[in-house]
A and B are shown apart, each in its own frame.
Chain A
Amino acid sequence: MAAHSPVLSMSKIISSLWGGRLGSAAKVWGTTTVTSQRNKSYPPPAKYGGRHTVTLIPGDGIGPELLSHVREVFRYSCVPVDFEVIHVNSALETEDDIDNAITAIRRNGIGLKGNIETKHTLSPSVKSWNNLLRTRLDLYANVMHCQSLPGVQTRHKNIDIIIIRENTEGEYSNLEHESVSGVVESLKIITRNNSLRIAEYAFKLAREKGRRRVTAVHKANIMKLGDGLFLQCCNEVAAGYPDITFDSMIVDNTTMQLVSKPHQFDVMVMPNLYGNVVSNVCAGLVGGPGLVPGANYGRDYAVFETATRNTGKSIADRNTANPTAMLLASCMMLDHIKLNNYASLIRNAVLTTMNETRLHTPDIGGQGTTLDVVQSIMKNIQSKGQLTSEL
Chain B
Amino acid sequence: MAGNAWRSMLSQAVAAVRKPTVSSFSRGMQTVTLIPGDGIGPEISTAVMKIFEAAKAPIKWEERNVTAIKGPGGKWMIPPDAKESMNKNKMGLKGPLKTPIAAGHPSMNLLLRKTFDLYANVRPCVSIEGYKTPYTDVDLVTIRENTEGEYSGIEHIIVDGVVQSIKLITEDASRRIAEYAFEYARNNQRASVTAVHKANIMRMSDGLFLRKCREVAENFKDVKFTEMYLDTVCLNMVQDPTQFDVLVMPNLYGDILSDLCAGLIGGLGVTPSGNIGANGVAIFESVHGTAPDIAGLDLANPTALLLSAVMMLRHMNLHSHADKIQTACFDTIKDKKVLTGDLGGKSKCSEFTGEICRRVHDMD
Looking at B160, B165, B171, B255, which has the most chain A CB atoms within 10 Å of its CB? B165
What are 14 A-B pairs with beta-carbon distances under 8 A?
A124-B207, A183-B168, A183-B170, A184-B169, A186-B167, A192-B160, A192-B162, A224-B155, A226-B155, A256-B263, A257-B263, A260-B266, A284-B236, A284-B237
B135, A191: Cβ atoms closer than 8 Å = no
Q: In the complex, which residues of chain A have a beta carbon less than 8 angstroms from the beta carbon of B230?
A: 276-277
- Closest 5 pairs between A and B when the two form their complex, measured CB to CB: A284-B238, A192-B161, A256-B263, A182-B171, A252-B259
Looking at B135, B171, B207, B238, which has the most chain A CB atoms within 10 Å of its CB? B238
A251 within 8 A of B: yes
A190 within 8 A of B: yes
A189, B256: Cβ atoms closer than 8 Å = no
Q: How far is the CB of A102 from chain B (nearest CB, A)?
A: 19
Question: How many A residues have CB within 8 A of the partner chain?
Answer: 58
A184-B169, A255-B260 are known; give 6 further A-B pairs, CB within 8 A. Answer: A190-B165, A193-B161, A225-B163, A229-B163, A252-B258, A277-B234
B234, A280: Cβ atoms closer than 8 Å = yes
For A186, give its contact among B155, B160, B169 (CB under 8 Å). B169
Which chain B residues in 184-213 approach chain A with CB under 8 Å?
A: 198-205, 207-208
Which chain A residues in 146-184 approach chain B with CB under 8 Å?
A: 155-156, 171-172, 174, 176-178, 182-184
B267, A186: Cβ atoms closer than 8 Å = no
Spell out A's residues near B (CB within 8 Å).
118, 120, 124, 127-128, 131, 155-156, 171-172, 174, 176-178, 182-193, 219, 222-226, 228-229, 251-253, 255-260, 273-274, 276-277, 279-281, 283-285, 288-289, 308-310
B164 within 8 A of A: yes
Q: Which residue of A lies closest to B260 (CB)?
A: A255
Q: In the complex, which residues of chain A have a beta carbon less than 8 angstroms from the beta carbon of B151?
A: 222
A279 to B163 Cα, complex, angstroms: 24
Q: In the complex, which residues of chain A have a beta carbon less than 8 angstroms from the beta carbon of B263?
A: 255-260
Q: How far is the CB of B98 from chain A (nearest CB, A)?
A: 14
Question: How many B residues have CB within 8 A of the partner chain?
Answer: 54
B231 within 8 A of A: yes
Q: Total number of A-B contacts with CB less than 8 angstroms?
A: 168
For B260, give its contact among A156, A172, A184, A256 (CB under 8 Å). A256
B264, A259: Cβ atoms closer than 8 Å = yes
B268 within 8 A of A: yes
For A187, give its contact among B165, B231, B267 (CB under 8 Å). B165
Contact bitstring B282-316, A, C-beta under 8 A = 1, else 0: 00000000000000000000000000000000000
Q: In the complex, which residues of chain A have a beta carbon less than 8 angstroms from the beta carbon of B135?
A: 155, 259
Q: Which residue of A lies closest to B157 (CB)?
A: A225
Which chain B residues in 242-287 approach chain A with CB under 8 Å?
A: 252, 255-260, 262-264, 266-268
Given A176-B202, A189-B163, A259-B264, A284-B133 contact (CB < 8 Å) = no
Q: How far is the CB of A59 from chain B (nearest CB, A)?
A: 14
B204, A178: Cβ atoms closer than 8 Å = yes
B239 within 8 A of A: yes
B134 within 8 A of A: yes
For A118, give its contact among B155, B165, B200 (CB under 8 Å). B200
A255, B256: Cβ atoms closer than 8 Å = yes
Given A189-B164, A191-B161, A308-B235, A171-B170 contact (CB < 8 Å) = no
Q: In the complex, which residues of chain A have a beta carbon less than 8 angstroms from the beta carbon of B170?
A: 182-184
Q: In the complex, which residues of chain B have a beta carbon less than 8 angstroms from the beta carbon of A192?
A: 160-162
B150, A223: Cβ atoms closer than 8 Å = yes
Q: In the complex, which residues of chain B have a beta carbon less than 8 angstroms from the beta carbon of A226?
A: 155, 163-165
For A225, give its contact among B133, B155, B231, B268 (CB under 8 Å). B155
For B200, give its contact among A128, A183, A188 (CB under 8 Å). A128
